[in-house]
Structure 1
């Protein structure tokens, strides 16, 4: 078993991060496997060296260790460009100049009996630029989902889930991909890649066998399994765990500094206290 924890250095780690990292570490330890760390810093406009340094400090304080050197996404742009070039050569990508407001305006246009559809990335893209033939080098790249399904022979893809809420084998149909996910962005204009593309390539590069992450990413896993099939990459097992929420039931965010690991440390908490708060066994 090889698990990983892949935070973004854009703010302090909170209790939700601690739960995910500790769970991935504990599962790997129990199986006699390896726990890896990866820094997801493709958003260079928000990534900060001090947050990355604090990630290492907080995780070591929690009792975690990992092999060196740590993989950093900002070092892997050539790999992402190579994968994009492969998909483009297959005729599966098109350039998109739409921004969020354009998409919201397009899907909110009056259509009798039709409600806007939402997928893993929010509003499902209506295909405005699909046949526009844009050549703007600053445009985003989208995956033409209908062409993709046709190229793969309209497959039914599968993945294994070990998390408590979705445990079992899951099937992904062309209808899921086309109508419930749509033409996803694979390279953003300001990043040169996207979360979906980079996470799939990075998990393969690190030979991750079991992806442990929050249940909010369960639907996104369907995108990742599709990309693995397109790029001839192995599909790991997935474990989508419960989310850590505040008293009002709202999931924690990095702006919720009151739940930051560093704040608990400063207030005198111990790693055992953090495990107890998260209902994780002591090691």
Structure 2
């Protein structure tokens, strides 16, 4: 990690499909300290395109939780109304459509009408195997998704904050990922990429479980009109785990900040719980107490590289 390196913008990018949990807050805390270290502003970007799962109460929870924990950001909505009027992903549908049409015209996409049941039957782990890529289905076929043609043997170059330039292959579970859903809306990989290009994000902090998504988005960016996404730097952090070594998710209700607040936990208690999940011996009860995470991640990445 180079001390002289500076970035313009990073982001918190929660999906309001549930209440924020301790894993989300850990990622936000690390993002905050990396932004501090490298002089970046922080954007609050709420990924609200999944209309089936997104609810107003979950969006409101994002503002409530950030306010409760005094986690600052510099760009983005200040409240639910401001988000809906000015920052919702619905406001950027035209941008997504332009990117989709460009990818379609370039030959990078194919139409697929496979059901979830069929996909599960075609692969023991439920990975999509590219069944429709040579069927030449019309992109306008009803009940069809648009998928990306991905060569899993192709090496993709990615800029890692701690390791420098690294290469990786798209893993099988994300090959042929959906770019436009059957309902016509852009899927996560495209929407996230277009949003980062639109806002000018140049430092992306996310969990290691999204390593494959980072590779897919870099690949996608190379097939869109000239852009600077190849210069984007990524920091993939370890996940904090719950019972049975499972990553925390919105289904872990007991780790949601909302649940903990209703149980009487204070801001200091929330930070201390995150420290306990990280295995810290010394109590960490404030945002500042996690400043060490930047150097810790750098050292851990360096040690892994030397092995």
Q: TM-score, normalised by structure 2?
A: 0.77
1:200 CA drift (Å)? 0.8
Counterpart residue number, 1:157: 156
C-alpha separation in 2, matches of 1:133 and 1:43: 28
1:191 CA drift (Å)? 5.2
**134, 138, 160: which one aligns with 2:137:** 134
Gap regions ≥5 residues in structure 1 = 109-115, 117-121
Gap regions ≥5 residues in structure 2 = 1-6, 78-82, 276-283, 289-307
Give deviations 1:15-37, integer Å, cap 9, x for gaps.
00111112112221232321111
Report how many residues are paired.
258
Q: Secondary structure at the match of 1:278?
A: helix
1:134/1:7 Cα in 2 relative to 1: closer, same or farther (>3 Å)? same
Q: Is the Cα contact below 8 Å between 1:145 and 1:178 reproduced in 2?
A: no
Q: Is the Cα contact below 8 Å between 2:29 and 2:287 reproduced in 1?
A: no
Counterpart residue number, 1:31: 38
1:190 CA drift (Å)? 2.6
**77, 86, 89: which one aligns with 2:93:** 77
- Which stretch has the larger CA shift, 73-82 or 137-146? 137-146
1:77 CA drift (Å)? 1.5
**165, 170, 181: which one aligns with 1:188:** 181
**115, 123, 138: which one aligns with 1:107:** 123
Q: Is the Cα contact below 8 Å between 1:42 and 1:191 reproduced in 2?
A: no
| Match status 1:213 vs 2:220 | no
For the aligned residue pairs, the C-alpha RMSD in angstroms reads: 2.3
Q: Is the Cα contact below 8 Å between 1:214 and 1:240 reproduced in 2?
A: yes
C-alpha separation in 1, matches of 2:161 and 2:236: 7
Counterpart residue number, 2:262: 266
- Report the structure, 1 or 2, having the larger helix content: 2
